[in-house]
Amino acid sequence: MKTIIHASLLLIYLLGYQLEVSAQQNEKNSNTPNIILLMADDLGWGDVGFNGNKNIVTPHLDQMAAKGMRFTNFYAAAPLCSPTRASVLTGRSPFRQGIFAAHTGGLRQGEKTIAELLKNAGYATGFFGKWHLGWIEPEEVQSRGFYSPPQHHGFDETFATRSAVPTYNPTKVPKGWDNFGVADDGSWDGSRYLHNGKVVTKNLEGDDSRIIMDRAIPFIEKAVKENKPFLATIWFHTPHEPVVAGPEYLAKYPSLPEKQKHLYGAITAMDEQIGRIRTYLKANNLDENTIIFFTSDNGPADPLAKKGIASAGPFRGHKHQMWEGGIRVPSLIEWPGMIETGQVTDFQASTEDFLPTIIDLLGIKMKSFPLDGISLIPFLKGEQTKRNKPIASGYQRLYKDTEIYSFIKGKYKICIPEKGMEMMLFNLEEDPTESNNLAEKYPEVFEEMKVGLAEVKASWLLSREGNDYEY
Catalytic residues: 81, 132
Report the half-sphere exposure of 435 (CA within 13 A, side-chain side).
7
CA distances from 46 to 115, 313, 324, 434 (A): 30, 4, 12, 17
Q: Which residues of 110-126 are buried (b: 16+ CB within 10 A; e: fewer)?
A: ebbbbbbbbbeeebbbb
CA distance 410 to 108: 32
Reference 394, options 469, 463, 298; nearest CA is: 298
- Closest by Cα among 233, 239, 73 to 158: 233
Q: Pick the closest to residue 49 from 216, 245, 274, 233 (CA basis).
A: 274
How many angstroms separate the most distant Cα atoms in the chain? 93
Residue 68 burial (C-beta neighbours within 10 Å; 0-12, 13-18, 19+): buried
The whole-angstrom separation of Cα 253 and Cα 257 is: 9
The amino acid that residue 299 corresponds to is: G
